[in-house]
Amino acid sequence: MKLYLIGHDYKYAVEQIMLMLFPQERPEYPAAPPNPGDCYARVRISAGPVFTTASALVCAGGQSGRGTARIRTAALSGGLITERLRQRIIKLAFYKAAVAVTGQTPVWGALTGIRPAKLAARFLEEGMDAAGAQAAMQREFFVSPERAQLCVAAADAAVQAARTLAPGDVALYVGIPFCPTRCAYCSFVSNSVEKSMQLIDPFLDALDREIDETGRVAAELGLTVRSVYFGGGTPTTLSAGQLRRVISRLHGAFDLSHIREFTVEAGRPDTITREKLDALAESGVDRISINPQSMSDDVLRAIGRRHTAEDIRTAFAAARAAGFRRINTDLIAGLPGDTPDGFARSLSEVLALGPENITVHTLALKKGSRITEQAIPIPDGAAVGAMLDGARSRLTAEGYAPYYLYRQKFTSGGFENVGWSLPGCENLYNICIMEELCTILAMGGGGSTKLVKHSSGRIERIFDPKYPLEYIQNLDRVLADKEKIRIFCLQER
């Protein structure tokens, strides 16, 4: 699509809304005017004494549509807030014009960001009740009633969690970038141990040093650790002894006496043994994830999983026997070869296991995954929508409530990922990372430290190298980066 920006240079904002509404198009910025029949958009912003107005003309498929949105100029007080508000009305104007052309209304309306619950949380913090916040999401951003309700529920969980946190509270993340094999849909940072087994020990040696240095800085700053989360990859790719080693190092480097939860993604049942479960439980881990993604053996084979639905049931029983009373399970809507009926059966089988948390993801077709090269058909947006609608209805009936959600690019239908929880079993880390409630200190492969200061709205990120060898080779830089944590925290006091 040819894009003509007039009175602004908000390319990213326009591209975001364009890609959501016209996913088959790619942005172009020609110098010449469009030719008859071209797919193009003119997006203008102009400031007046009373209102600042965004207008859009969208032409596609022989149809044209116009849209406008405005905000009071007095509300544009400068800085980041002004930038956000100007970009918001640009997206709204483009959305209205595009809907007039296509006749399609996405379930998330004009929202393009990955954290829609943050908008709903602002409405709640301004004094609206849940019904008012839901109505505002529908009215101001054209979000469907069902998604607005999800959003407000997640926002309420975030508001409640924020009230329990104090300045100086942080969460820890440890990235273990290894998996037994690589799933067909995966674009996460992970190395198959079939190819990189020899890197595990030197990676752990490097991780020991990063844990020690991060712990030193946290102690110097007087930070209080409230949550610990091991992700990856699949952390339980490590042996029981290696898991004990990492967790012991963490206990030695940080004061973990104030944590509310300690989560490890066990993930793949083909990495779970009773020995590893005992090692985790004895080391203070009180919550794990066992992630089938599907309970259909045919679908599991299609995505390259080397386990069966029966293996999930066996792993779940072993985790209960080891004493775990907080277990999450993941399902993915839209996997190759799945159907709405098949997904509903998977959900029923997972519910029969009685997990405290169920996370329902939408398949994202990302670069770096093998899934788009496969011959097995992938469910379309309508089928994925039916899967998610059925899951929402069933989980609500079973007493689960949404407590965090996020969106990703390149999902069928532009849908969402939602964490569902039984009352009182919400995972604090998941809420904090999604809603940016506190600083996350990350260590390990692919770890992303997020430094958060709410008083100023300031957020900074520090990225560890993604892959094991890269991480090992760049350890000196990783350790030196810890000084940025100290500087940020001291500047914000």
DSSP character string of 136-204 = HHHHHH---HHHHHHHHHHHHHHHHHHTT--TTEEEEEEEE-EESS--TT--SS-EEHHHHGGGHHHHH
Q: Which helix (H) or strand (E) holds 221?
A: helix 200-221
- CA–CA dist 143, 137 (Å, integer): 6
- CA–CA dist 44, 64 (Å, integer): 16
- CA–CA dist 297, 33 (Å, integer): 54
Per-residue pLDDT of the chain in tens (493 residues, 90 and over written 9):
999 999 999 999 999 999 999 988 999 999 999 999 999 999 999 999 999 999 999 999 999 999 999 999 999 988 888 999 999 999 999 999 999 999 999 999 999 989 999 999 999 999 999 999 999 999 999 999 999 999 999 999 999 999 999 999 999 999 999 987 665 555 554 555 556 778 999 999 999 999 999 999 999 999 999 999 999 989 999 999 999 999 999 999 999 999 999 999 998 898 999 999 999 999 999 999 999 999 999 999 999 888 899 999 999 999 999 999 999 999 999 999 999 999 999 999 999 999 999 999 999 886 655 565 666 889 999 999 999 999 999 999 999 999 999 998 878 778 999 999 999 999 999 999 999 999 999 999 999 999 999 777 789 999 999 999 999 999 999 999 999 999 999 986 6
User: Is the distance from CB of 261 to CB of 288 less than 8 angstroms?
Assistant: no
